[in-house]
Structures are given as C-alpha cells and as structure tokens.
Amino acid sequence: MKSTHHGSCHCGAVAFECELDLSATTSRCNCSMCTKGRFWKLVVPSADVRVLRGADMLADYRFGRDMIHHRFCTRCGIKPFGHFSHPELGDCHAINLACIDDLAPEQLEQLDVKLEDGKHDHWDREPEHAAWL
C-alpha cells in the first residue's frame, strides 16, 4: 500500500514528496555511482514524485549508457533521486531512501533489500562480495 513521504537533500534546498509502497523490494547495487554515493533505491512511477522546492537547484549527471538522469543538489551534492525510462515500467524515479525525512530507522530496518551486481550489468543477481553494501 502506498503512503506519502517527504524527503530532502542535506542542506534542505531541494524538498520533495513521493508515494512509496514500503512493502516493495528496495535495492542497493555495486555500480560505481551507487557505491560511491551509498544510494539505496526504491523505484516508483514518476507520477508519484513531486518536487516541492529547489527544482532550480537540481543538476543532472549521466554516465555510461546515459540512461539514468542522476539528479543532485548543486549546493550540498546529495542525490535525492534519479530519473529514467524503463521499457516495462515507463517513466520512473529511483528514490534515495536515505533522503526520506519521515522514515524512522526502525522502518528502514524492516524494508526488503535486494542486492544487485550493477558493476557487471548483472542486475538479476547478487554481487559476489556484498556484505558492505
């Protein structure tokens, strides 16, 4: 079941709200972007995400196959979400759960987490070394 949650970057210049289904599987991956940024994502339809403040503070970074728009705050550098188009899911956002302000640590501990081997483009399997993710 979806519920409305609020998030922000570190400095607060960017604020957003989104509809999240906390029973859905979240993921962490070992690609260079997610590893360096410690990104923990939950993919949602883009229609479920609304930027409330700071759209003008968001910059876009793309690499590799240029498929994902990594959106980050130009003031503090934190990435609250990424934006991409998926062949089956359509227009999506990958929400950085670490940026959701109204989730308690106890709620985060209860989330289902899938580990992905994005470093080798094997999204369907867990990395060989994953305890640190």
Q: According to the model, what pLDDT value does residue 30 have?
A: 86
The residue whose two tokens read 């939950």 is 42
CATH code of the domain in which 11 resides: 2.170.150.70
Q: Is residue 110 part of a domain?
A: no
Q: According to the model, what pLDDT value does residue 5 have?
A: 98
Q: Is residue 89 part of a domain?
A: yes
Q: Give the model confidence (pLDDT) of 16-49 as tens digits.
A: 999 999 999 999 988 888 888 889 999 999 999 9
The pTM (predicted TM-score) of the whole model is 0.90
Q: Give the model confidence (pLDDT) of 96-119 as tens digits.
A: 999 999 999 999 999 999 998 888
Q: Is residue 123 part of a domain?
A: no
Phi-psi region of 23 (alpha: psi -120 to 50; beta: other; left: phi over 0): alpha
Q: Which domain holds residue 50?
A: 2-24+40-100
CB hemisphere CA count around 133 (13 angstroms): 25
Q: Number of folded domains in the chain?
A: 1
Q: Is residue 133 part of a domain?
A: no
Q: According to the model, what pLDDT value does residue 8 have?
A: 98
Q: How far is CA 37 from the centre of its chain?
A: 10
Q: Is residue 34 part of a domain?
A: no
Q: Is residue 70 part of a domain?
A: yes
- Write the DSSP string, 5-44: EEEE-SSSS-EEEEEEETTSPEEEE-SHHHHHHT-EEEEE
Q: Is residue 80 part of a domain?
A: yes
Higher pLDDT, 99 or 66: 99
Question: Is the per-residue pLDDT at 133 higher than 80?
Answer: no
Q: How many residues does the structure list for the chain?
A: 133
Q: Is residue 63 part of a domain?
A: yes
| Cβ(116)–Cβ(28) below 8 Å | yes
